[in-house]
């Protein structure tokens, strides 16, 4: 069976994480990186397997140890990703593109194609990666990264801070509405977009720094080079998506999509949003996961049941009704 997730950190304050045991190393042939600068950095420092293929337990350990992501956020995000992008039989997930290293594939329509897979977890209007419609949804896009720096200069005095996060999140949504005919900003992307705009403030700023402001030198290291700054200390306390609501509130927008080409953004009342968090869980299980696995059997079915439990556990306190589309063990 897939093992229970690792527990929370026992010692959970700030500490040096760019240490001797975790040196940055350049990519070797066939090493995989993807759309997440956090996981890319953990892999390039050996907190995750350097080849970019990892188990959910390895990811949960690494994001806690390397960045002090809180235990609930780490579990919720990791099992969400694993359920849609990972191999549930071998318990392996690629942090980027599809690879044979995750083992034999289950039957279609499951894709097991890693975090690069569009529209199940990865989504539109990322800060530094282009929309899938334009081709490459996972590599750092130089034009977008220049805009990230430009906004940090204009609104943050040269730093990515909360004001920059709010302005840039709004800008990226407006750009996608105006240029991407397939723009989709429904759940889960509706949530991940605001969470990921919060992450650089929480995780890429040195844990000894009381000011939530990320320098452009350090942003370049994380987003482009998958590299910790010299002498980098992780966050001072466990955290995860702490500023998402404030980033949303600066420019509130309904979950929705361009329904008929560019500039046709239309709210989708069937999507979850901040007023209905449980619908995120419900839609993810009954639409996204069930869509990929309509009729699983054997070990695959068993592991779906187990991974769905691991996905639910961190939100049990939110009062959402647990769902069992494949029954219970």
Count of residues that bind ligand HEM according to CB under 6 A: 26
The span of 61-69, 249-257, 270-278, 306-314 binding ligand HEM (CB under 6 A) equals 61-69
Residue 49 binds which of ligand HEM, Mg ion, none (CB < 5-8 A, kind-dependent): none
DSSP states along 303-320: HHHHHHHHHHGGGGGGTP
Residue 33 or residue 283: which is nearer to ligand HEM going by CB?
33
Query: Minimal distance in Å, beta carbon 68 to ligand HEM?
Result: 9
Six token digits for residue 282: 């419900």
Q: Which of residues 96-125 bind Mg ion (CB under 5 A)?
A: 122
Six token digits for residue 56: 């959910």
Residue matched to tokens 């306190």: 317
Q: Which of residues 220-279 bind ligand HEM (CB under 6 A)?
A: none
Query: Minimal distance in Å, beta carbon 123 to Mg ion?
Result: 5
Residue 75 or residue 293: which is nearer to ligand HEM going by CB?
75
Length of the chain: 329
Residue 156 binds which of ligand HEM, Mg ion, none (CB < 5-8 A, kind-dependent): none
Residue 84 or residue 88: which is nearer to Mg ion going by CB?
84
Query: Minimal distance in Å, beta carbon 129 to Mg ion?
Result: 5
d(CA 208, CA 284): 37
Six token digits for residue 96: 């980027």
Q: Is 176 in the site for ligand HEM (CB under 6 A)?
A: no
d(CA 256, CA 236): 36
Residue 78 binds which of ligand HEM, Mg ion, none (CB < 5-8 A, kind-dependent): ligand HEM
One residue of 192, 239, 258, 271 binding ligand HEM per CB under 6 A: 192
Question: Are 289 and 312 a contacting pair, CB within 8 Å?
Answer: no
d(CA 283, CA 290): 9
Q: Is 87 in the site for Mg ion (CB under 5 A)?
A: no
Q: Is 78 in the site for Mg ion (CB under 5 A)?
A: no
Q: Is 77 in the site for ligand HEM (CB under 6 A)?
A: yes
Residue 30, judged by CB atoms within 10 A of its CB (0-12, 13-18, 19+), counts as exposed
Q: Is 284 in the site for ligand HEM (CB under 6 A)?
A: no
d(CA 13, CA 181): 45
Q: Is 161 in the site for ligand HEM (CB under 6 A)?
A: no
Residue 190 binds which of ligand HEM, Mg ion, none (CB < 5-8 A, kind-dependent): none
DSSP states along 280-302: HHHHIIIIIIHHH-SS--HHHHH
Residue 103, judged by CB atoms within 10 A of its CB (0-12, 13-18, 19+), counts as middle
The HSE-up count of residue 271 (CA atoms within 13 Å, CB side) is: 18
Residues 6+ apart with CB under 8 A from 15: 207, 233, 234
One residue of 69, 130, 244, 300 binding ligand HEM per CB under 6 A: 69
Quick note: the x/- pattern for ligand HEM over 37-56, rule CB under 6 A, is xxx-----------------
One residue of 70, 91, 196, 273 binding ligand HEM per CB under 6 A: 196
Query: Minimal distance in Å, beta carbon 309 to ligand HEM?
Result: 18
d(CA 277, CA 128): 26
DSSP states along 26-53: PPPTT----S-HHHHHHHHTTSS-TTSE
Note the residues at the interface with Mg ion (CB under 5 A).
122, 126, 129
Note the residues at the interface with ligand HEM (CB under 6 A).
35-39, 59, 63, 67, 69, 74, 77-78, 81, 115, 121-123, 126-129, 192, 196, 199-200, 203
């Amino acid at each position: 069976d897939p093992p229970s997730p690792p527990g929370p950190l026992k010692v959970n304050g700030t500490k040096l994480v760019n240490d001797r045991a975790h040196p940055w190393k350049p990519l070797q042939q066939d090493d995989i990186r993807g759309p997440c600068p956090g996981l890319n950095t953990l892999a390039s420092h050996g907190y995750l397997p350097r080849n970019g293929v990892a188990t959910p337990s390895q990811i949960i350990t690494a994001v806690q140890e390397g960045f002090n992501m809180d235990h609930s956020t780490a579990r919720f995000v990791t099992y969400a990703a694993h359920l849609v992008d990972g191999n549930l039989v071998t318990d392996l997930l690629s942090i980027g593109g599809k690879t044979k290293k995750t083992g034999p594939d289950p039957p279609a329509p499951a894709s097991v194609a890693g975090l690069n897979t569009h529209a199940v977890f990865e989504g539109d209007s990322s800060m530094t990666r282009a929309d899938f419609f334009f081709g490459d949804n996972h590599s750092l896009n130089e034009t977008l990264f220049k805009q990230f720096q430009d906004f940090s200069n204009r609104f943050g005095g040269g730093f990515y801070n909360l004001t920059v996060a709010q302005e840039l999140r709004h800008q990226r949504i407006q750009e996608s509405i105006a240029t991407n005919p397939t723009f989709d900003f429904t759940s889960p992307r509706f949530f991940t977009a605001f969470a990921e705009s919060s992450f650089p403030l929480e995780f890429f700023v040195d844990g000894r720094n009381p000011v939530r402001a990320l320098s452009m030198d350090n942003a370049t290291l994380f987003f482009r080079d998958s590299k910790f700054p010299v002498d980098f200390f992780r966050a001072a306390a466990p955290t995860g998506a702490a500023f998402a609501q404030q980033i949303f509130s600066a420019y509130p927008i309904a979950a929705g999509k361009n329904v008929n080409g560019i500039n046709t953004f239309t709210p989708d009342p069937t999507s979850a949003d901040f007023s209905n968090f449980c619908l995120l869980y419900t839609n993810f299980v009954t639409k996204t996961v069930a869509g990929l696995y309509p009729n699983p059997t054997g070990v695959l079915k068993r592991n779906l049941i187990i991974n769905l439990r691991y996905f639910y556990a961190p939100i049990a306190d939110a009062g959402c009704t647990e769902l069992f589309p494949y029954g219970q063990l």
